Structure 1
Amino acid sequence: MGIGNIFRAFQPKDKVFFVLFNKVADNLVEMSKEFHDGMMEFDLNDDSLLKRMSDYEHKLDDLTHEIFVQLGENFITPFDREDINMLTSGLDDIADYIYASAKYIYLYKSPQTAAYSEFSLLIYKACLEVQKAVVNLDGFKNPGVVKEACIKINSIENIADDVLSQAIVKLFETNDPINIIKVKSVLDYLEIVTDKAEDVANTIDNILIKYA
């Protein structure tokens, strides 16, 4: 390996990682927006929403794989490798559970409930804050903006917990065991999405504490 190649191998690759993180965050916003729109105009006989969620999930899997490839190829990273691993996995989990939520709505032929659209709006808002946090994490130039976004994500997760509790109370009042099983399963997946967003916020918070 020539001197030039050795020098380049040890140059910081911040741009590579943050470009990929931003792409992931952008796709999560698009995915969650389409999911919310789909819940607002839900048609159980039209599975095009499920196909779009699957496409997004595959696209985000590819981006996740690319980040891990870069992690293996680059000696110098913008922050700790373990934190990059956790952030990457956390972002991917958000996409996985959005897709899982959509999948089980269609597999169970679950009737639409008001809670589905409430959750989908919270998920979209959480993804917008994730995007804001990721964009402003680059270079640690705007730690206050990142911190504020993380706080909002935590608040959204708390609201989601309340939505879940209220939805389950109403669900049990239906006295329909089969429907209760189906809908509760979907509600659990939807609530997990907000949990995963909170995990991402906590990871970003820890990165800020170490480096900002």
Structure 2
Amino acid sequence: MVLKLFRMLMPRDDTFVAAFAKQAARTVDAAHVFRAMLEDPANGAHYTELRRIEREADEINRATIRSIHRSFITPFDRADILTLTDALDDVIDRMKDAGRRLTLYKVAVTPQMLTMADCIIRACERLRDGMPLLGDISGNARALGAMCEAVDAIESEADRALQSGMDALFDGGDTNSPGHKLMVQMVYDGIEAVADRCEDVTDLIQAVMVEQV
């Protein structure tokens, strides 16, 4: 309670909020490249670009961690800042992993995979637009809550697309070998992990809101 009051009295440090916004913007860039990769998986330039964006995001993450150790007063708990920056970084890491699976297994991209990728773009855009609101959590509580609900709803859309893809894969009409089906499932799992990580970010934000509001 005393630390919370102290933070309120100190001049606001926007360094971390700006870093979160920058990280979230990179997730949007990565999501568009990831969608393009699914649309044209034979084009290796997409995966190269995805890896470049991931390296940029890693550097933002490292800079944020360095700032945590240098800052005397942070806008909210240091552990929450660390967890949030890592979660944003993981969104792109999961995209890179899913892209690697697609490149490795060379399975056909399904309409459901494209739908999930579209969901990821929308979720990342919501996160990008919501990050600046962390500069005033109490004042922006309603907008932050709406953002979290929107991302959760989008993740549910991705889950429905995943279920549709799984139904089509294992409904008996697909004559591919069990090994091939396993590779397709692993690509689906990789894409699902990206959407799940977007939802994880909103869960972290909601936890911070509980402490701050």
Structure 2 length as normaliser, TM-score?
0.89
* Structure 1 residue 12 displacement after superposition: 5.1
Task: Name 1:21's counterpart in structure 2.
Answer: 20
Q: Give the 5 Å matches for 1:35-184.
A: 35-40=34-39, 42-44=40-42, 46-140=43-137, 141-172=139-170, 173=172, 174-176=174-176, 177-184=178-185
Distance 2:101 2:167 in 1: 21
Q: In 2, are the aligned partners of 1:127 and 1:197 still within 8 Å (CA)? A: yes
Provide the secondary structure at the position in 1 that maps to 2:57. Answer: helix
Q: In 1, are the aligned partners of 2:120 and 2:194 still within 8 Å (CA)? A: yes
Provide the secondary structure at the position in 2 that maps to 1:151. Answer: helix
In the alignment, does 2:31 pair up with 1:32? yes
Instruction: Give structure 2 stretches of 5+ with no counterpart.
Output: 1-9
Distance 1:125 1:27 in 2: 13
Q: Which amino acid in 2 is paired with 1:137?
A: L
> C-alpha deviations, 1:163-210, integer Å up to 9, x for none?
111101111231322321111001001111111111100110111121
Task: Name 1:5's counterpart in structure 2.
Answer: none
Q: In 2, are the aligned partners of 1:164 and 1:187 still within 8 Å (CA)? A: yes
Distance 1:90 1:104 in 2: 21
Instruction: Give structure 1 stretches of 5+ with no counterpart.
Output: 1-10
> C-alpha deviations, 1:54-101, integer Å up to 9, x for none?
111111111111110001111210101111111111111101001111
Q: In 2, are the aligned partners of 1:129 and 1:149 still within 8 Å (CA)? A: yes
Provide the secondary structure at the position in 2 that maps to 1:181. Answer: helix
* Structure 1 residue 34 displacement after superposition: 2.2
Distance 1:13 1:97 in 2: 33
Distance 1:132 1:147 in 2: 13
Distance 1:47 1:97 in 2: 18
Superposition misfits of 4+ residues, deviation over 6 angstroms: none
* Structure 1 residue 13 displacement after superposition: 6.3
Distance 2:145 2:14 in 1: 21
Bigger drift between 83-92 and 173-182 goes to 173-182
**Matched residues, number:** 200
> C-alpha deviations, 1:140-170, integer Å up to 9, x for none?
2322111101001111111222111110111
> C-alpha deviations, 1:86-134, integer Å up to 9, x for none?
1111111101001111111011112121122111101001101111221
* Structure 1 residue 43 displacement after superposition: 3.8
Provide the secondary structure at the position in 2 that maps to 1:14. Answer: coil
In the alignment, does 2:211 pair up with 1:210? yes
Root-mean-square deviation (Å): 1.4
